[in-house]
Amino acid sequence: METKWLEDFVSLAETRSFSRSALLRHVTQPAFSRRIQALEAWAGTDLVDRSSYPTRLTPAGETLYAQSLEMLQALQSTRA
């Protein structure tokens, strides 16, 4: 797993939009989608409900979102 996958996932959880998150993360929408798919493959489960608009997280996605915030905050505090 890469840190940028977690950053991407947090962005998606907060914007609820693949397109908006891709723009904010400075990548194309297809590349952003591939990163989220890679994270889902790593997690072994769907994290995003793609059938809804705006995008919603699955229960596993909600859990990972909370954990991602904690992990990213911990990483940031070690850099300071």
What pLDDT digit, counting tens, does each position of 1-36 carry?
788 999 999 999 999 999 999 999 999 999 999 999
Q: Over 70: is that where the pLDDT of 80 sits?
A: no
What pLDDT digit, counting tens, does each position of 50-60 carry?
998 899 999 99
Rg value, the chain, Cα: 12
b/e sequence 4-25, b meaning 16+ C-beta within 10 Å: ebbbbbbbbbebebbebbbebb
Domain boundaries, the chain: 3-79
Percent of the chain whose pLDDT exceeds 90: 84
**Whole-prediction pTM value?**
0.89
Topology at the third CATH level for domain 3-79: Arc Repressor Mutant, subunit A (1.10.10)
**Dihedral sign computed on CA atoms, order 4, 66, 47, 11:** negative
